[in-house]
Structure 1
Amino acid sequence: MTTRGKTSPAPETDPEPNPHDIARAIVLRQLTMAPRSRRQLEDKLRAKGCDDEVARVVLDRMQEVGLVDDEAYAGMVVRSQQAGRGLARRALAQELRRKGVDDETAQEALEQIDDESERDRAQALVTKKLRSMHGLDAAVQTRRLAGMLARKGYPSALSWSVIRAAVSDAPEHQRD
């Protein structure tokens, strides 16, 4: 830009941006997309080439201000995955482990689910699935329902008791 024949100096550009600022921007971008565990954020920073010490400092600060909270994250995952996908405690524990939540924190979050609520959720899943299986043989229904509950992490004893009750109560399997 010129002013009366003089050129103004070019704005100074920082040739080497602050690595802490870069790491902070990456973390904030990740957190705006979805909640994340500390390990997920560490992995992302490592993948972006961020120094481990810089990542530790930035994540410690984010944890201090409450933006990174594995306990809250684990609780949110347990509530949403149990309600939305109908996952049992075993599958939820595996999901939390996969997302980098330590076992102690995961166990605390899983305490939200008691045996009765897990049974209720299994019954609801079986009832819903059974509606789409009308007309199939009881053995086929039982096998498919058992597979569904197993994939969702339900214990076999619980699965079989819920399935037996639901299939035997189905109107098509009632004896007149």
Structure 2
Amino acid sequence: MTVQYRGEAPGSGVGKRRSRAPRTSVAERLDAGEITHEEALDSAREALLRILTAAQKSRHELEQSLARKGYPESVVTPLLERFDEVGLVDDAAYAGTIVRTRHGERGLARRAISAELRRRGIDEETAVEALDQIDADDERAAGARLAEKLIARTRGRERDVRIRRAVSSLARKGYAPGLAFELVRDALAADGEETDDLPFAD
């Protein structure tokens, strides 16, 4: 059955859907000789600069992004090495920024930040060095501030509900269960809630 679109005269062909030719990747165009290696490099360089102008990325994230855009490894690797040499790609600085912002602005614990660094392709040595910015005291202080905010939001609710919600929220932010419970218990006490019957974390 032929579909006739509004405003189309029968048999005119106007309004018929046109099939699009499949897009050819940069790698395929390069193999076919349609573009030179230098042209592919220039195109990838522009793509990288657009990505980095929008947001800082790890080398791994940039590799993935360019691969999705169809750039071959023979173009991506030397280009990223050059960007690394001139400081436009710096995983150590990027990891340090993530640690500072996630801990300082969101109160995330080391464990949660470590998981994010892995997802972003930061190698273990670089991640460990970046995470050294946070010590146990820093983590506890950030967790205590979070616990106070979480407890303040649940005033008027049953104590068990307040504890469960606050501990769960801290756990999602990477705090160990024992520490999370201890911080919530302290926040409850500071908020005037009875806590003498609550156990102490091991």
TM-based fold match above 0.5: yes
Separation in structure 2 between the aligned mates of residue 169 and residue 62 of structure 1, nearest angstrom: 51
Correspondence for 1:105 among 98, 119, 126? 126
CA distance, structure 1, for counterparts of residue 115 and residue 121 of structure 2: 10
Percent identity of the aligned residues? 44
Aligned ranges 1:39-58 → 2 under 5 Å: 39-58=60-79
Specify the alignment match of 1:92 in structure 2: 113
Match of 2:183 among 159, 162, 175: 162
Q: Is the 8 A contact 1:129 1:145 kept in 2?
A: yes
Residue type of the alignment partner of 1:112: Q
Q: How many residues align?
A: 161
2:45 matches 1:20: no
Match of 1:134 in 2: 155
CA spacing shift, 1:131–1:20, aligned 2, 3 Å: same
Correspondences of 1:28-43 after superposition (within 5 Å)? 28-43=49-64
Q: Letter of the 2:49 partner, please give it.
A: L
The SS at the match of 2:77 is helix
Q: TM-score, normalised by structure 2?
A: 0.76
Deviations 1:77-111 (A, max 9, x none): 11111122211100001001111111111111111
Give yes or no for contact 1:135–1:172 (8 Å, CA) kept in 2. no
CA contact (8 A) 2:151 2:184 kept: no
2:56 partner SS: coil
For residues 98-140 of structure 1, the C-alpha deviation after alignment (integer angstroms, 9 at most, x for no partner) is: 1111111111111100000100000100111111111112111
Task: Report 1 or 2 for greater relative contact order, CA contacts < 8 Å, sequence distance ≥ 6.
Answer: 1
Name segments (4+ residues, structure 1) moved above 4 Å. none
Distance, in Å, in 1 between the alignment partners of 2:151 and 2:98 is 27
Q: What secondary structure sits across from 1:66 in the alignment? A: coil
Measure the CA separation in 2 of the matches of 1:53 and 1:158.
Answer: 49
Whether contact under 8 Å (1:150, 1:156) holds in the other structure is: yes
Judging changes above 3 Å, is the alpha-carbon distance between structure 1 residues 172 and 158 closer, same or farther for their aligned structure 2 residues?
closer
**Selected match of 2:139 from 94, 118, 129:** 118
Query: Where is the helix percentage greater, Structure 1 or Structure 2?
Result: 1
Equivalent residue, structure 1, for 2:104? 83
Aligned-pair RMSD on alpha carbons?
Answer: 1.5
Give, in whole Å, the separation in 2 of the partners of 1:92 and 1:70.
Answer: 15
1:42 is aligned with what amino acid?
E
Q: Which SS does the other structure have where 1:50 is aligned?
A: coil
Gaps of at least 5 residues in structure 1 are 1-14
C-alpha distance in 2 between matches for 1:110 and 1:41: 22
Moved more, 135-144 or 117-126: 135-144
